[in-house]
Structures are given as C-alpha cells and as structure tokens.
Chain A
Amino acid sequence: MSEGNAALPEFRGRLLVSIPGSWIDRLRLPGSLFGREVLRDIAMPVELRAALALLSAEADAQSVPLQFVARPEIFTHGRSRAWLDDRIGNARDHVILTDGHTLRTLPGLRNHMFFYPRGIPAQEAALRRLIGIAPELFSGLASQINGGLAFRCGGAWHRPPGVHLRLRTTPDTGRVERFPFLAARLHDDADPRPVKAAPAGEALPEDRPVRYVPLSETALADGVFMRDLAERVQRAIFGGPERLLLELSRPEGSPSATDRMAAATLAFSETRVAFPRSPSRNVQFVTAPPRGLRMDSLLIHPGIAFWRYGLDFYGAAERIEVPVGTNPVNRFRNLLSSWLGRPVAVLRQDAVGEVPRVTLSEAP
C-alpha cells in the first residue's frame, strides 16, 4: 500500500478547483472559468465553506491565483481541451471538491481529492459506491486532502497520499447558542417543551471539567458511540465528574437549532439509556463552539469534518480523544494526530462499578 506522506503540495502557477456539479446550477457564472467571488454570497454547508476557505488560504499562502472550473468533465480532448489549456496557463494542480457522487479528474494535471461532507452518511455512502464502480479514478490521485481514504482493489491496497491543510482560526459558522440538554422529544405535539437558550454572555460554570463533543449525522448514527455518549450524559446529569457540551450536527438544508436538537435527542432516545424529562445544565447543546471556550477534553468522532475547525479550537483543548468502538478508529486517530501534529488518545469506555466493560471488535 502506498502510504500518505502529508507533504504540502506546491501549487505551481495557479490552483484550479472544481466544485460538485450540483452546485453549478445555483451559481451565476461568467463562464467555464471563474473566480472565488462568484461563491462569496452563496449559502452552502459549513463543510464546503470551510474547504473553500482552506484552499483560498493555501493559494494565498503560496501566492498563486485560485481559479474555478465549472465542469472539468467537458474538456475531454481536442479543441475543447486546447481551449481550457490555453486559459489555465501553467496550472498543474486540480483540486476536486467532491460530494462523493463524482470524481471529475482532469487528465494530465495532478488531481487532488477533497471529500468535504465527512459525517454525512448519504454522501459517505455515495463515495463508497463510486469507489466500487471506478476505483482507478482514486488510485490515480496525486493526493487526498485532509482524508484517510484507503481501499483494496484486486490484491492491492491503495491510499492516495495525504495532504494536510489547516486553518489558523475557526471560520464563523453562525450564531453561538447554548441550550440545556432535554431528552423529551422536541417535536412531540402532545408534550411540547420549549427549550430556552442560555442568555447571551452567560459564562459556563467552572465547577467541573468540560468535555466538548461535536456531533454529525454519521456520529448520531453510530450506535456504539451514541450508547457510550448517552451513558456519559446520564452520569453528567446526575452529578458526574464532567460537564458535557454537545455541538449539534448540521443536517442538510440549514435547519433551525430546534430541528438540530430534535435530531440529537432522537439519536439519544434510540440508545435506550434513560434520562430525566427535565432540562439539565450539566449537559448542554451548542450550535457552534463558544468563543473563549477552554476544554479539558475534546472528543472527535471519525465522522466529523475535523478540518473545519481552526488550530485555535484544538489549541483550547487539554486532551484530544477519539472514541473507542468504531472500527476505523485507529486509522482515524493516526490521521487526526498527524493532521494536528500532537498526540490523540483513545477514550475508553468507563467501567461500570467494579465490573469491566466488554467491547467486541469484529463479528466472528
């Protein structure tokens, strides 16, 4: 298996970038090639926005222009390809921002993949399906940005070399709100429970260490992870040693904070762990990382687009951990540790009383 080297690519001349075709119809394009200003005021998922911010920062750092190509797939050969080559000049690198449904390479250029919807199950599934159909597209990549994709085709393992891009500061992802944890179904018409956000500016009590846990759709769908998290939530509610801050996932379609909480409470309800039907401030939902937050522990599930946080966010955590119990955890821990340049621990499940916990690896 070819291992990733995490070397920063030199984007000589200029950096060519393509975004998923599903976004093209939403843009008012001046032509097949366009600048970053076209994307400036477009509402898009935080992961895509962060990926664009990463590429913009990298292009600026290398003093190369960033140019977008609307549909790389149309420049197959001959006159159309000559037209493109004439306009992209000395570009040698093409970053494919993929949503998992396509990988539209430009033959002759160094193609780099950036799979941005990490943590969105449907798009992760689309990527897996695409690899099954056309693995050669992936084995021919010059690199994968902030990814740890590995697959076997025939007898050989393939892992496109990894490249790490990081933001210094976390991009603004909207209003920061904190809500008390409430297990009651938020959309239960028979028992509506309005949950009020903590007043703006209200500080978190400093009576116990804070564990911060970003959630995503993939994380919410991970039964082992959610069961363990639910038990930690339960202990925290009943006066356990830590305070939990759970950052709400962002399902597609810009849902409200209430919808995001509903998605989380539904996932908690499916763990069968019992919670009191009253709000708790020992466990809180947050819509985005609170400013000035100090974390004793940051728990990152493999289904989190970890690169959408800046180094300032990780720098605020004493410990960074990944959960045990998810199959690709070691690969992810290595990726995250390499990306951060600091150790990442595995958060073991707590023993219950004196009886050791049992963890199964693979099915027999």
Chain B
Amino acid sequence: MSTTATRPRLNIDIGPLLEDQWTGISVFTRRLVQALDASGRLDLSFSVRMMQLHAAEVRETIRHGSGAFLRAQLDKRDAAERPPLDPALPLFYPSVKSHPNIVPREASTIHDMSTLVMPETHDERNVAHHLDPLRNELSTDEVVFCVSEATRRAVCATFPWAERRTRLLMQYVDWPEEFAAYERNLPPVELDRYAVVIGTIEPRKNLDLLLRALEHPAVAASRLTFFVIGKRGWLVDQALARLRPEVAQRVKFTGFVSEFVKYRLLKSAEFLVLPSVYEGFGIPAVEAMSLGKPVLASLTSSFPEVIGNAGLFFDPFSVDEFALALKEMSDVRRAAELAPKALAQAASFSPQRMAAPVLDWLGA
C-alpha cells in the first residue's frame, strides 16, 4: 500500500544540480535530496527555473553526478511545455532563492555571510548575486536554514528579526562505498610524512599563513610535506618565491584532483590543515575526520563547532600560534589520540541529522 498520499510534500529547487562539476552547494543539494529520500517521510518533487521536473530525471541526474544532461534537456525548445512549479507545495531552495515570494511557504539556505562581512575576497558579481536579494529572500522565508551555528549567528546579528525563522541544517560526508575497496587493492601511498591542505588559492583560504610559517623553526623541525589540494596561482608563486628553495619544495600543489585521489591523499595523511580565515561550515574537516584524521584549523567561525575536540586550533593571523599547534599535531602520539575522536565527530554528521530540521519544518 502506498503511503504517498499521507506524507507531506516538498518541492526542492535543484538549480545547483545543473552544474557540470559538482562541488560545494551542488554536493550539498545532492546530499539533502538523498537524506530526505532515505527518511521515507516526505513526498519530494523537484523544480528549477519555476518549472516542475520529473522526479525520475532528477534521480537519474543524481546517479550520473553531473547536471550536463538535465541542463541540455531544459534548454530544448519543448522545455516551455513543462508545467510551472506547483504553488501548493512548500518550496525549498538549497542556496540563494532565485525567485522570492512565488509560493506561500518558502525556505532557503544560507551557507555563509562572507559576501557581507568580507566582500573584498569575492568577485563583485558574486557579492551582488548574494546580497542584492538577501533581504527580500529572508523576509519571504518561512524558515531560513543555516549550515552552521556560526552562519546562524551571523545571520541573526545582521537581521535580528529573522532569528525565530532560523534552523540549523548541517550536512554530512558520504564517500562512495567502492572507494574503500579500491584503496585496499592499490599499493600504499609512498610520500613519507605529509599533511593535506584543502582549499583554493583565494585570500580567504589564508594559504599565505602556511607559506609564512614554513621558515618557522617548529614547522621546519616537523619534516612534514604539505599537499595542497587546489590550484596554484600567481599569488602563491609570489609567496613561494620569497622562500628558500628547499623550504618552498615542502609545499606541493596537486591541482584539481578526483574525489578518489582526494580520498587517498587524506587517508594516508597525518592530518588536515585548514588555515581559512572564515568558513560557513567546512566540509573538508568532516571528510578528513571521517577517515580518522584530526584537523589543525583556524579558530574561526564554524570550525570549532564542526571539528569539536577532534582537532587543534590556532589564531589564523599568528604564525607563532600556527607553528606551535603544528608542532603538537606532528607528534604521532597526539594525532593517534585524536583519531578516534575524529571518527566519532564525523559520525555525528549524518543523513538523519541533515534531514531532521526539514522534516520538522514540514511536520513529517
């Protein structure tokens, strides 16, 4: 017997899934859909560009892990024949709300407030994309989902009237099941002792702190190599040029890597370094912790709540504090002590936890 008729219904705007390469918010959206599906307590519909989509094509898109096919379908001429989104359904935006006040019950997701508090680290168009509709977006939301308490606090400090509408919506990590088997069947990674640094080269990621710290005696003594997962840009080149060649060689840039390569690098690393100045959540921390790796992170915004007692923290502007924390983390006994805490902390972020606030909103 079908229970569809008795379950609350929810329309999800799957705009982020139209991206070719899924990172960040696309992955967040995919995980949310899967978490809500797994709960079995909602009847999900999907929409984009104010058009209703077939649930089957969205689930097929999720299976592919790319929005290219679905986007091509939407760009066809007959796309106009698709039905408009159903105004009777609550509408959930996993990111910026593209069209406020379309249906009576709306919710959107705030990932971080960096465009408001540090616009100088963003492209002007990105700032406008996030900030121009923000007030309208929040004022027409029944619920404002925030991806961390830090983000929720930032939203409430800026818009006190939105506080009663805010709820936490924290995501989880789901490595593909086959990764563990692949890893077992491959020869071990032979890179000596190393730590992984995840992040792009944008200033907010604060890679400069690590580069400045390389000459510090405590960091030099650690004999660690740092693998930065991300592109190397001219700003980094300038910083590296200031270092002695033998010091500069201790930082390696991987460029873009597949999820599996990231998994392998993390799995064999001693720990993860996150020197970011500001984050909305910090999913790389949960990724590392899910593989038993502790995190050496900036004491900023969301990191303390996400990492908990599975990491060590430092002032993101202090080379000395960073070097001291790195020295402590480089001690294999300390890292071993933190490893089980890392696994436990990562496990606290689950599909059930992600689905719960949405189910609660809809009374499911």
Contact = CB atoms under 8 A, between A and B. Distances in A.
B321 interface: yes
A85 interface: no
A60 interface: no
Nearest to B127: A101
Interface string A256-282: 000000000000000000000000000
A202 interface: no
Contact of B135 (A21, A107, A133): A133
A33 to B, nearest CB: 8
Interface in B161-212: 161, 203
B336 interface: no
A102 B150 CA distance: 18
A32 B317 contact: yes
B316 A32 contact: yes
Contacts of B132: 133
B118 A79 contact: no
Nearest to B132: A133
Given A32-B318, A76-B154, A79-B299, A102 B119 contact: yes
Contacts of B303: 80
Given A102-B116, A136-B161, A74 B131 contact: no
B316 A78 contact: no
B157 A133 contact: no
Contacts of A30: 317-318, 320
Given A80-B301, A102-B117, A73 B278 contact: yes
A77 B116 contact: no
A122 to B, nearest CB: 11
A130 to B, nearest CB: 8
Interface in B115-158: 116-121, 131-132, 134-135, 149-150, 153-154, 157-158
A21 B118 contact: yes
A329 to B, nearest CB: 30
Interface in A34-90: 70-71, 73-80, 83
Given A29-B317, A30-B318, A73-B154, A133 B277 contact: no
Contacts of A80: 299-301, 303-304
A105 to B, nearest CB: 7
A79 B120 contact: no
Contacts of B120: 20-22, 101
A25 interface: yes
> Which among B134, B160, B277, B298 has the greatest number of chain A C-beta atoms within 10 A?
B277
B313 A79 contact: yes
A107 B315 CA distance: 20
Contacts of B153: 76-77, 107
B256 interface: no
B131 A133 contact: yes
Nearest to B148: A76
Interface in A82-122: 83, 101-102, 104-105, 107
A102 B118 contact: yes
A77 B117 contact: no
Contact of A134 (B121, B158, B298): B158
B281 to A, nearest CB: 12
Contact of A74 (B149, B316, B318): B316
A137 B158 contact: yes
A31 interface: yes
B117 A104 contact: yes
Contacts of A83: 299, 315
A100 B304 CA distance: 30
Contacts of B150: 76-78
B69 interface: no
Nearest to B128: A129
B305 interface: yes
B236 to A, nearest CB: 14
Nearest to A129: B131
Contacts of A73: 113, 117-118, 154, 278, 301
16 contacts: A21-B121, A25-B203, A30-B318, A30-B320, A70-B317, A71-B278, A73-B113, A74-B298, A76-B154, A80-B303, A101-B119, A102-B118, A104-B117, A133-B135, A136-B159, A136-B161
Given A30-B317, A76-B149, A80-B299, 13 more contacts: A22-B120, A25-B203, A31-B315, A32-B315, A71-B300, A71-B316, A74-B277, A78-B305, A102-B116, A107-B153, A133-B134, A133-B135, A136-B158
Which 8 interchain pairs have the tightest Cβ spacing?
Answer: A31-B318, A73-B117, A79-B304, A74-B300, A22-B120, A76-B150, A76-B153, A29-B317
